């Protein structure tokens, strides 16, 4: 997949998070703001990557690392 497409997918996820951040009062927890679409994870990361990311407790850290893995 071309780098431009990866950046566009990540940008879409970031836009979605910004929208959710505006609706933070409606969210049950702040961690709902930092979610990556499952399709992105399955299409761009190996099972080993997903397994390593799953054990990260901090939602923002998990989101950040996921984004870095998808872009690279």
Quote the CA–CA distance of 53 and 28 in Å, as a whole number.
Answer: 22
pTM: 0.52
Tell me what pLDDT residue 42 has: 86
Give me the helix-helix angle, 59-71 and 47-54, nearest 10°: 160
Q: What pLDDT score was predicted for residue 70?
A: 83
pLDDT in tens, the chain (72 residues): 566 666 677 677 767 766 655 554 455 555 566 777 888 888 888 899 889 988 988 888 888 888 888 886
């Amino acid at each position: 997949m071309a780098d431009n497409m990866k950046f566009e997918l990540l940008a879409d996820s970031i836009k979605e998070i910004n929208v959710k951040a505006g609706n933070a009062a409606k969210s049950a927890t702040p961690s709902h703001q930092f979610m990556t679409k499952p399709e992105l994870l399955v299409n761009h990361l190996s099972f080993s990557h997903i397994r390593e990311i799953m054990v990260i407790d901090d939602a923002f850290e998990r989101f950040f690392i996921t984004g870095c893995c998808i872009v690279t």
